[in-house]
Every structure is written in C-alpha cells, then in structure tokens.
Chains A and B, each alone.
Chain A
Amino acid sequence: MKLEPLLEAIGNARVEGVTVERWQVHGTESRRLSLGIKDREAGNAHAPLSLAESSSARYLLVWSDGLVCKGTLERQQDPGLAFQEGRATAYEDEDGAHVLGPAEFPEVELYDEDTAAIAGGQTDRIAERLQWIREAIDTVGARTWSGSFSASAADSRMLTSAGLDVRSRGTSYGWYVAVDGEAGDGFSARRPEDDMAFSARLEQLMRTAQQVGGEPRTLPAKTHSVLLHPRVVENYVLSTLMQNLDGAAVAHDESAFDRSGFRSGRASLRKDIGLSIDPLQPYRGGSYRFTGFGLPAARCTYIEDGRLVQPILDVKYARRLDLEPTPVPFGNDTVRFGTPSRLAYRDALEQTNVLVLSVLGVHTQDRISGDFSLSAPLALAVSKGAPWSRLRGTISGNLWETLRSDDLVFVDVPHETTPGMLFPCRFDSK
C-alpha cells in the first residue's frame, strides 16, 4: 500500500479543532498462494488452489488533545474518512501514545525469489513435492491423508512522526501433512527446505504413521516417564510460556509471573532453564527486520538461568512497566528454549515409557495456573529405547512444577529446533 496518501490525510486530519500530533503507519502489500489436500483430494472445492492479493495499513494516531486511536486501513478505504471514524473511538492512553524514532535496522535475509514466484502462481515446486508425498503415502499403505501448501510474498514499510522510515521484503513458505487423520508433521520458513531435508522429514512422518497404526494398548494409570515431542512442546509449553511472558498479561496481573519477579533476580524456573530468541537468523520463519511497533530485530533473552529477565514488551507495556521495549517472538524456529546441554534422542528413549506425539485441547487449558490436563490421542509406549505399541490417554500435571523439577530433561530430537521434554508425568490410558 502506498503510504503517501495516508500521510497526507494525517496532515489534513482535523476534527473539532483537534489535529494529529504523533503517528505511526505500517503498510503491507502481499500475495499468497495456498493449496489444500483433504482426504487425498488435492485442491477440491473445500480446499481449492487459492490466490489472494491484499493491501492494508495499521495506524496509530495521537491527537493534539492527547487521545489515541488505532486501527487498520484497507486498500479501498478513504484514509481521511477512516481517520475521522478513528477519532470517534479515541481514548486516553498515556502509555500507548508514543512512537519510536529512527534506529539502525539489521539486514536480515527474509526474501527468496523462488518462494515469491510460487506466491505469484508458479506451482512446479508444489507439484513436485505433492507427488513425493503421494508416493510416500502409497509406500506405507495409508488409508488417507490431508495437508496443505502455502507461499506468500510481502513488502512492508513503517513510518512514524518521529522520523522512522524502514522497509522490509519477505517471503514465507510452509507445508503440512497428516496421515490417516492422526500422525502429522510439516515445515515453515522463509523459503522451502532443500530436497534432502524435505525427504528426511517425510520419511520420519511415514515411520511414525506406521508405528501408530496398530490397536492401542493400555498402561497402568500412574506417573510414567513421559517424553513430549517437540511439536507438543511448541504447541503447549512454549505457547503457555509466551502468553505468560506477554507484557500486557504481566502488567494486568494475568500472568503466572508477577512484575516483581522480573526484578527480583530469584529463579522462577529451574536454574539452568533459559528462553531467548534470535530473529536475525537467515530465512527462518521467526526472523524479521523490525517489530510491528518499529523496534529493530535483535537477539533477546526473556528467561536466563531460571530467572525472569524481561517480559515481551511493546512500547505501551514497556512504559507501563517502566522497562524498555523488546523484540518479540514471531516463530518457534528462532526460539531457543531449555537447558544448555540436552540428552540425545536415542538416549532419551532408553529412559522413556511414553512418547507423546500430539495433544488435543491445548486452547482449553488455563494458561496462568499452569495446570494441564490434555488428551494425548497419539502416543507410543516405549520400552528399552524402542516404541512397541500405540497408546491413547491423557497427561496431567502442572507446567510450572515441571519446569522447576530436577527430574526434567531436555532432549535433542533430529530435524527439530525445539527440544523434547522428558519428565515424570501422570498418564492415564484410554
């Protein structure tokens, strides 16, 4: 979206004698291609090959009487009218009435020509990989499979009244496959992975699909040595941690971590656990050049040696908590979580009774208390380092207790950036 008409409208905005004193606009123009596969049918009417074009701008206006309004402007909207309507929603927000100025922005590799071509409608790469998946599915004799491919390309620019003017051009690519409606895996980044990495992930998925193919057995209902697969760690553990680290949640006492905990220096988690991001890594899904409020991307630590270092803070909540704004997590592949040393996957399996591959009901959990009670429809019983039967059941416990426990071990799992987590956990078979 061209931002000049917006800037002109901001300059001309006047409602009952009030004008715009400070502002921030962030425009994005994007193209996207997606394709769904439902029960072996690629691109049927419920998941067609889709092409989308969009253009919009998010804005923050601080009026001369101190009131603030914010919103999103669509391609076709008249900016002058939109800002007048925005004025009608303006409210007092002392902490939210600030915009950032110029800074040095890192050059981060986010754009891939081939991915941009896919986003524009070039489907050769997708056709090739779709064929590989079909062949792999046939090899293992799966009854059905579903999945998706997507690619997008976007240009964005942010401007503020304080002189910030920064642009970014990026692409995104991803795929996901679920076999027989159960075992699933996928990949997402700024560009496709190479063929070898794609094949390796696909092969691993097919092995898992075969392992979970039999009738489920039961284990005695008790505490077992449970290994959460990295997908489960991302899905439940990381998302719960991030929500509790969110500056708004901390400021409103809606987090398990209270604000004093960030200054006390005492360990809130076990003393060797850390959580940080590195959004500067080339072509990672979670990499970026600047945040949605104009802060340059940078490495950032939220938890170190079990201590809370800082919440995830935008400008508003940084001011409210009297701290500095921070870079924000954008994708799991730039998150570093766990302990400096990790157990090798093969060694971890030797100590595992139950390998949990997926959970249902993550969004229903109370994120603050850390109490969890999750259905684990896809799990494997493991004995002497090898899976021997499928399991179905529930896992339950408390995440904060787990992250403080000496029994917790982080595990390096091949092809994954996120670790697995091995710990004693209640498992009830179904």
Chain B
Amino acid sequence: MLRQLEELTALGAEMARTANAAGVRLIWRNQVRNSRWTVVRQGKVETSAASTLSGHGAQVVTADGRAALASRDDFEPEHARKLLERAIETAAAGQRLGLQAAEPVAFERVTGREIPVDPAVFAAVDLKRISARLIELEKEIAARVAGPSLSVSYRSELDGWRIFREDGSDVFFAMPRCVLGMRATGSGNGGRHGVSATLFSADPGVPFDDAQVDLFLRRAEQAAQLATVLPDAPAHPAGSFPIVIDYALAKGLAHEAFGHASEADGFRSSILAESGRFKIGESVGPETISIIDEPVAGDHAWQPFSANGIPRQRAVIVRNGKLEDALSDPWSAGPGGVRLTGSGRAESFRSAPQPRMTNIRIESSDALDAPGRFEDYGPEEVRALLAEAGVFRRHPRVVYLSGYTGGQVNTASGDFVFQCKAIYDLDERGVTLYKPAIFSGSMFGALQSVREAFGPLVLDAIGYCGKWGQQVPSSGGSHYFLVLEPHESVGLGGRE
C-alpha cells in the first residue's frame, strides 16, 4: 500500500537539489491514504467501498519568506518537476499580491521512519467478511435493545506520508485507523432522536477481537437505549448549574476551549495571547489541573511527525493551572514567543499545515477513585459516586452531561460550545433524563470551575477537527468524570 512512497527516494533528493539551486526552502509532502468502509442496516450491506487518495504538494518559501503551495494527484517525476517550478514562480510573484513574508525559526534536518503496522494487514482487509460480522453485531445490539432503527459501520484507513525537505530531511510515517460505529434512531410521541457510539482501534481486525467487541457492544447498547427514551424526554431548563461531565465532554472542553486557543498561528487574535505572544505563566485554572496534548501510540489522532517533517513534541498547555506550552510550527513559534512543538498537521497533500492538536486531555493531580470500567457507570452509578464524595451536601441537585457530539470555539472571544448526548438531573432521590442541550460559555469560567475529578484517565474520545476547512482526526479525554461548580459565564442552553 505504501509502495509508491517507498519509491520516491531519488525524486525526493532531486526535488531538494532543485529547491537548493533556486535558493528556496521546500517542504515536499507525498501522501497515500487507502480507506475501506462498509455500512450495514437491517441485515444487509447498505454500502461498501474502497478508495485511495494520493498525490504530492510542494510548499515553497522564497528567500524573502513568501510561500506558495502547488499540488497534483500523481507521482509522475516530470509533473513533479514542473509543479515545483510553478510553485517557485508563484511564490516569487507573491510580492505583487502583497503576500506576507515570514521567516521560520530554525529547525533541524530529520530523517525518520515510523510505520507501526504491516501495511499488508490493511491491504488484506476483507470487506465481505467484515460486513458479515457487522450484520452479526447489528443482530446482537437489536437483541439487547428492541425498537430503534440501527446501522453499524466499519472504516479502516492507512494514511501514509513521506515528507522531503531541501535540507535533506526525509520522514516516512503511516497512521493506522479503524473505527467501529453504530447509530441508533429511536421514535416516540415526541418525534425521533439519533444517538451514536464508536470504538477506535489501530488494528483492522477489531471486529473479530472479542475484548474490543465486548466494549463496543456495551457502548452500542447504551446508545441504543438512550435513542429509545430521548424522543419523549423533556427539555432541560436553561441556566448555570453545578455540572458533571464525562471524559468525552472533558475532551471537548480541552479541545474546543484551550486547545484551539493555544494554536500559535492564531495568536494575533487568540484570547490566550497578548500582542501576538502566548501569555506564558498566566493563571487560567485551579492548581490541580493540567491540560496536555501529545501523540499517543495506537490512538486515532496519533501522528509522530508534523506535516512539515518535524518530530511532534508533548505540549503541556496548562501546567498546574498556568499556561506553559503552545502548539506551534516553524512559522508561528517565533512570533508567538513559544518553543517549537512540531504541531503542524494537514488534511491532505493539498493542504498547508497549521498547528493542530493530536490527543488532548485534562488531568487532575488529586483525582478521586472510581472503580471499574467507565462503561459500568450509568447515571445511577454516577449519582452514587457523587453522593459518596459528598457533592450533594454542596449542591442538592447536579446536572450530569453525558457523551460528546461535537463543539466549536471562537478563539478571539474565548466562547466555546459543545453538545452532549443526554442530560440527567441527579439528586439524593434519583435521576431524571432530559434531552441534550448546548453547553457553552467562557473557557476560563469553565476551567476555573473544575472542582473534583473521579477515576483514571481515559483518552479514547475520538472525533474530527475542522479548523480552517481541513478535517483531521482528533482525540483525547480526561478522568472518568469532572465536577464543575456553577459559574455565571458557563451555562446550559434549554427551554423555559
């Protein structure tokens, strides 16, 4: 599957020589992404397909710091040479358009190779066998929860990149990704409501791994049960409340609120920067709280090198409540006043990389115990956990937001929003289910409000991040649950 990238060594060296002869900096990105997916519904294959995305993009920066990117969907040497010439001409002509010139910070020559799986395993993915397995899983979910309409999906992807630079750098890496998914749509007198569940693995054989399938079925069952009751659930009142969020929502908070605002390419307008520079040392949360972004082996968002061919570093965005690291690339680190963390990611060879997150988490230094698996905790169990920790003595009623379905942030204002799958009111007497509502507010208010954390870290909340129109895999998490005190700047949308 990665053969085309293996064969580029000589052409990569030639492109580097051409760039050096022209006096320009070159980052030449080559990508081959093979994807296979299938969806089943009601015991039948609904769709099934394989696709390949491949090609190269030559990003050129002239001696006076002007950039241009040219891309084409093949690896033909003659076309690659012409494309490089065109990129050089375009960048050189950029002055007329008033294109911004910028000098990157120094970065070292790198050679590296990280391909953690045998590409042949991905090439051998048998969609017919997998579709048959998904039909079995669909039956199993339907047997556990009667009523909702179900679809079960599988997607495997091996995303290979080889990046050459004019300084002789040559990095070659491949990112394996497989996702099992289920969507349940329930009906009631109040209409219809859909709920999804996913499980990530780097192993394309995940539908045949008993332990993983057991976990997937547990998540799917919980989602399907929710889909049956949500259509008739009432809407929650709007307002500020004491709130419990699970690790997937905590990932959303870390990602939307702090992660994006710490991306150094946005520091000329980010609320975490002043005069374009990161506010290192500024207090943004309790001393017990840290926010960390780093590639995690075997994870959905794992990426060992940036799309500029620089090793990805761990970034402690918030350490013990204070800003420390930003997510940077060679062009944003200098102006932002931060160290280079190699955080540039791109959707494809056609895109210019930007500082992006990989796996981001909120960590507490004094998390309380929560025994068992996360999936063992329904709303009743969460209520018992809070009761035991004495939370109800502080707040007779706590609002539990369960599951994450996406979010968005305005990094200039610090306003974030995210949406949960369901809301439960928890009190000493019991649990009441409500429809989901948007959780929004000020990022500082939200982080300052974190009071307790329960359980070990879980980092497998997956999603896709769409910054600047480029979709890249994201992931992260936190402890099983975080408790947030009510804060005037953070609220739940809802009805009267």
Contacts and interface: CB of A to CB of B under 8 A. Distances in A.
Contacts of B440: 360-361, 375, 394, 430
Interface string A304-338: 00000000000000000000000000000000000
A131 to B, nearest CB: 8
A43 B68 CA distance: 8
Interface string A358-372: 001101111111110
Nearest to B101: A44
Contacts of A126: 97
Interface in A82-110: 85-86, 88-93
Contacts of B329: 45-46
A74 B53 contact: yes
A8 to B, nearest CB: 20
Contacts of B192: 253-256, 368-369
Given A360-B408, A366-B436, A85 B50 contact: yes
Contact of A127 (B55, B75, B97): B97
Nearest to A93: B45
B493 A45 contact: no
Interface in B67-91: 67-76, 83, 86-87, 90-91
Given A91-B131, A361-B440, A394-B491, A49 B415 contact: no
Given A53-B71, A182-B413, A368-B185, A48 B265 contact: no
B438 A364 contact: yes
A397 interface: yes
A75 B75 CA distance: 10
A181 B411 contact: yes
**Chain A facing B: main interface SS:** mixed
B51 A71 contact: yes
Interface string B266-285: 10110000000000000000
B218 interface: no
Contact of A45 (B61, B93, B96, B491): B61
B45 A91 contact: yes
A400 interface: yes
A116 B119 CA distance: 40
Contacts of B194: 254, 366-368
B73 A51 contact: no
B384 interface: no
A135 B323 CA distance: 36
A51 B87 contact: yes
Nearest to B148: A253
B102 A45 contact: yes
Interface residues of B, number: 100
B417 A52 contact: no
Interface string B329-343: 111100000000000
Given A43-B97, A144-B268, A426-B495, A48 B419 contact: no
Nearest to A367: B194
A368 B191 contact: yes
B16 interface: no
A49 B71 CA distance: 11
Given A47-B352, A252-B41, A369 B97 contact: no
Interface string B37-57: 010010011111111111100
B265 A46 contact: yes
A89 B70 contact: no
Contact of B419 (A52, A255, A364): A364
A40 interface: yes
Contact of B406 (A123, A364, A371): A364
A375 B413 CA distance: 13
Contacts of B495: 396-397, 426
A367 B192 CA distance: 9
A389 interface: no
Contact of A252 (B59, B61, B149, B468): B149
B493 A375 contact: yes
Contacts of B96: 123, 127
Interface string B310-334: 0000000000000000000111100
B149 A254 contact: yes
A252 B151 contact: yes
A279 B311 CA distance: 48
A204 interface: no
A383 interface: no
B494 A373 contact: yes
Interface residues of A, number: 82
A35 interface: yes
A219 B99 CA distance: 43
A221 interface: yes
A41 B276 CA distance: 13
Contacts of A50: 68-71, 350, 352
B94 interface: yes
A374 B438 CA distance: 6
Contacts of A41: 100, 102
Interface string B166-186: 000000000000000001010
A180 B102 CA distance: 22
Contact of B417 (A182, A360, A369): A360
A420 to B, nearest CB: 21
Interface string B3-43: 00000000000000000000000000000000010100100
A45 B331 contact: yes
B190 interface: yes
A428 interface: yes
Interface in B371-428: 405-413, 415, 417-419
A298 B55 CA distance: 36
A69 B51 CA distance: 11
20 contacts: A51-B68, A52-B72, A53-B73, A74-B55, A75-B73, A93-B46, A180-B412, A222-B496, A360-B409, A360-B410, A360-B440, A363-B406, A369-B435, A373-B419, A373-B436, A373-B438, A374-B493, A377-B413, A400-B191, A428-B239
Given A49-B97, A55-B73, A121-B90, 19 more contacts: A38-B268, A42-B99, A45-B102, A45-B329, A47-B352, A50-B68, A50-B350, A89-B38, A92-B44, A92-B45, A93-B47, A121-B86, A252-B149, A366-B194, A375-B493, A396-B235, A400-B191, A426-B496, A430-B441
Interface of B: 36, 38, 41, 44-55, 59, 61, 66-76, 83, 86-87, 90-91, 93-94, 96-100, 102, 104, 126-128, 131, 149, 151, 183, 185, 187, 190-194, 230-231, 235, 238-239, 265-266, 268-269, 329-332, 350, 352-354, 405-413, 415, 417-419, 435-438, 440-442, 468, 489, 491, 493-496
Interface of A: 35-36, 38-56, 69-72, 74-77, 85-86, 88-93, 121, 123, 126-127, 130-131, 134, 143-144, 146, 180-182, 221-223, 252-256, 360-361, 363-371, 373-375, 377, 392, 394-397, 400, 426, 428, 430
